[in-house]
């Protein structure tokens, strides 16, 4: 895993001024060095300049980048961030075509595939990736992002025709012409959608993301975007037994493919069914090779003392972690986080994502990833299973299923309750959110014979994958890569998601059991008492001391006249909110962000505006 950055202009002559461009590229690298601490490189060409930092996972000796390859007199360069899981098939196919390789890296396979087959070959690549390829002869730059946006890729297209790209926004800001500016749209994203965001948007003015399943091409003829993958609605002809068998194969194949590495892998083991399934397959794969899997679980100091059961988080995970360790005999480490560390990492997590985040949901994972990175460089996680297999309440609760907005943030009232009234009216968040919701569901191609109920299920599934899953993938990438830890997400395998997306709900929710299909497809991999437990989300702290830290800091923000968030907050309403008991069981986003997380999120917004010196244009 790595970072990439660079820029392109069809009229440039960058190689004539290396002393000017090299410091820019080096600064872009330095600001993303956490993603690739093992090595870095730059290349300055005529129309294009590229930068790269490397986290060595595959071919530790020979995989340095940007990588150059010359075939039939044509020269190409690649800067690549990701892992390709069907590398051996791609390489063998190219060898049969007469190609030879100087390395064992997936980078060279990816570049050679592009050279031989062209840009559209990307639809045949199975992996997580964000990469740039420059064709010197054609003076053309291509930048690609994986099917579901596991790896980030931001860009800005400047008025002078320059395309600037980077893995993270902080690197974009090292290009002299790009500054962080927040306009009305930015604030609608922050207060109306945050911590999620509109697909393809970078929140800040003129900052965009390459959309998942897309690639961009810039050449002498202009700048264009192409879609190479989208979720398709298809009839599902398989009976229940066949569906279980195919699901089981696709899932286990995805997990086993993602164990490929030249350094030891590990897994997160929460005790939930998703991480337990991933851990079981990984453990068996490593056992075949005579190795023992490292596993890690997370919790908060004194959480057993302060835990409060609610409909979203009915029980604690530790007993189920213990059962899995006994079942698989992994080399397990229990990690715990103090509330003071959780609080301080709130602000570090903003830097990791360049935006306000999922509050302590992000900051805790950031802390835990830092600790795991002391042991391993690669981790497999159970992320995305709920979005794919229908594990959230809004898949089966009628009031949420029939919602005409995003069901994980059905009520916008908490988002506007603490804002100044005129500012809230100016943002018009209900209209903004409704417009995005309608835009996304218009992308769905429903089948002509689907019932209204099946259309609703498809709608929920689609917007979960396009919006909610993307937020969790962003969280997973930034919190892990901030410490140079590569996180892999087998449940986001595009073959698996495409297949499960079209499976009828009656198969996914047999006998009223959430994620029933996943459970049946994983029988034997996990003890039944774990496999059929009630879903429990990622842990959060219930320690009253954490809430006290948040309230104290917010009071300081309110009393400091220079606090940038005061331009938007109603001070009196906020002070009253700080005095009232916080409800932990009524989330305003997802399943975990309730009263305390509202304070934490507002603190992050203030820190973000201040730290990045964001200019506002409202």
d(CA 104, CA 483): 26
Sign of CA dihedral 323, 268, 299, 537: negative
Residue 300's pLDDT is what? Answer: 87
Chain center to CA of 369 = 14
Chain center to CA of 462 = 17
| Least confident piece of the model among 181-195, 476-490, 508-522, 533-547 | 533-547
**pLDDT tens per residue, range 420-450:** 999 999 999 999 999 999 999 999 998 988 9
β partners of residue 222: 219
Residue 2 is a catalytic residue: yes
d(CA 517, CA 247): 8
Q: What is the pTM of this model?
A: 0.95
Residue 413's pLDDT is what? Answer: 93
Residue range 2-227, CATH number: 3.60.20.10
Vertex 366, ends 326 and 356: CA angle to 5°?
Answer: 140
The two beta strands, 48-54 and 39-44, are antiparallel
Is the per-residue pLDDT at 373 higher than 80?
yes
Section 284-309 average pLDDT: 85
Closest CA to 598 of 610, 617, 584: 584
Is the per-residue pLDDT at 581 higher than 90?
no
Helix (H) or strand (E) holding 116: helix 106-117
DSSP 526: B
DSSP alpha helices (H): ranges in 226-338? 240-257, 273-288, 303-306, 318-328
**pLDDT tens per residue, range 303-330:** 766 655 555 555 568 889 999 999 999 9
At 505, is the pLDDT very low, low, confident or very high (cuts 50, 70, 90)?
very high
Residue 591's pLDDT is what? Answer: 86
Q: How many residues does the chain have?
A: 618
Bond from prior residue into 66 cis (ω within 30 degrees of 0):
yes
- Domain 240-399+456-531 listed as CATH 3.30.365.10: no
List the catalytic residue out of 2, 266, 337, 384.
Answer: 2
At 219, is the pLDDT very low, low, confident or very high (cuts 50, 70, 90)?
very high
Contact 593, 312 (CB under 8 A): no
| Least confident piece of the model among 64-78, 128-142, 236-250 | 64-78
Residue 260's pLDDT is what? Answer: 87
Sign of CA dihedral 9, 129, 359, 385: positive
Closest CA to 324 of 285, 283, 376: 283
Burial of 530 (0-12, 13-18, 19+ CB in 10 A): buried
| Least confident piece of the model among 24-33, 252-261, 306-315 | 306-315
Is the per-residue pLDDT at 478 higher than 60?
yes
Question: How is the chain split into domains, by residue range?
Answer: 2-227, 240-399+456-531
Residue 61's pLDDT is what? Answer: 60
**pLDDT tens per residue, range 202-213:** 999 999 999 999
């Amino acid at each position: 895993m790595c970072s990439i950055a660079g820029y392109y202009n069809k009229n440039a002559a960058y190689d004539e001024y290396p002393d000017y461009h090299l410091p820019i590229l080096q600064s872009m690298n330095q600001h993303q060095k956490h993603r690739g601490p093992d090595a870095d490189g730059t290349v300055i060409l005529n129309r294009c300049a590229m930068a790269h930092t490397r986290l060595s996972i595959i071919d530790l000796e020979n995989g340095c980048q940007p990588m150059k390859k010359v075939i039939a007199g044509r020269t190409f360069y690649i800067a690549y961030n990701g892992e390709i899981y069907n590398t051996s098939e791609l390489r063998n196919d190219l060898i049969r075509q007469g190609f030879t390789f100087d390395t064992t890296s997936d980078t060279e396979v990816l570049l050679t595939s592009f050279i031989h087959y062209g840009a559209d070959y990307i639809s045949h690549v199975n992996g997580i990736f964000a990469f740039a390829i420059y064709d010197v002869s054609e003076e053309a730059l291509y930048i690609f992002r994986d099917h579901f946006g596991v790896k980030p890729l931001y860009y800005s297209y400047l008025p002078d025709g320059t395309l600037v790209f980077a893995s993270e926004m902080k690197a974009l800001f090292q290009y002299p012409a790009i500054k962080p500016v927040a306009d009305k749209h930015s604030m609608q994203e922050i207060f109306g959608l945050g911590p999620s965001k509109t697909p393809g948007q970078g929140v800040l003015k003129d900052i965009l993301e390459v959309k998942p399943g897309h690639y961009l091409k810039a050449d002498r003829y202009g700048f264009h975007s192409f879609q190479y993958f989208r979720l398709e609605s298809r009839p599902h002809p398989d009976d229940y037994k066949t569906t279980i068998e195919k699901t089981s194969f696709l899932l286990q194949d995805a997990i086993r493919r993602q164990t490929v590495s030249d350094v030891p892998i590990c897994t997160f083991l929460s005790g939930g069914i998703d991480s337990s399934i991933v851990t079981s397959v990984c453990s068996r794969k490593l056992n075949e090779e005579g190795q023992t899997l490292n596993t890690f679980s997370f919790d908060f100091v004194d959480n057993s003392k302060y835990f409060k059961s609610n409909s979203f988080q009915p029980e604690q995970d530790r007993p189920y972690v213990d059962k899995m360790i006994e079942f698989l005999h992994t080399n397990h480490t229990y990690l715990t986080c103090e509330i003071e560390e959780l609080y301080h990492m709130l602000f570090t997590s903003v830097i990791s994502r360049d935006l306000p985040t999922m509050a302590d949901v992000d900051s805790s994972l950031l802390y835990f990833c830092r600790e795991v990175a002391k042991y391993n460089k690669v981790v497999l996680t159970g992320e995305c299973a709920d979005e794919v297999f229908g594990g959230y309440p809004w898949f089966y609760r009628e009031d949420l299923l029939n919602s005409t907005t995003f069901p994980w943030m059905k009520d916008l009232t908490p988002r506007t309750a603490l804002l100044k009234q005129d500012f809230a009216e100016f943002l018009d968040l209900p209209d903004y959110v409704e417009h995005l919701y309608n835009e996304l569901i218009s992308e769905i191609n429903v089948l002509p014979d689907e019932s209204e109920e099946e259309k609703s299920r498809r709608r929920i599934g689609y917007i979960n994958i396009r919006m909610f899953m993307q937020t969790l993938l962003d969280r997973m990438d930034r919190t892990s890569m901030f410490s140079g830890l590569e996180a892999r997400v087998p449940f986001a395998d595009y073959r698996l998601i495409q297949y499960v997306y079209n499976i009828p709900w009656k198969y996914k929710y047999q006998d009223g059991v959430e994620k029933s299909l996943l459970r049946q497809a994983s029988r034997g991999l996990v003890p039944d008492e774990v496999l059929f437990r009630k879903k429990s989300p990622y842990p959060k702290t219930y320690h009253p001391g954490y809430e006290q830290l948040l309230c104290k800091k917010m009071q300081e923000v309110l009393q400091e006249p220079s606090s940038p968030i005061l331009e938007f907050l109603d001070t009196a309403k906020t002070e009253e909110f700080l005095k009232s008991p916080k409800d932990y069981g009524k989330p305003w986003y997802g399943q975990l962000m309730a009263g305390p997380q509202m304070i934490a999120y507002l603190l992050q917004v203030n820190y973000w505006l201040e730290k990045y010196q964001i200019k506002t244009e409202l």
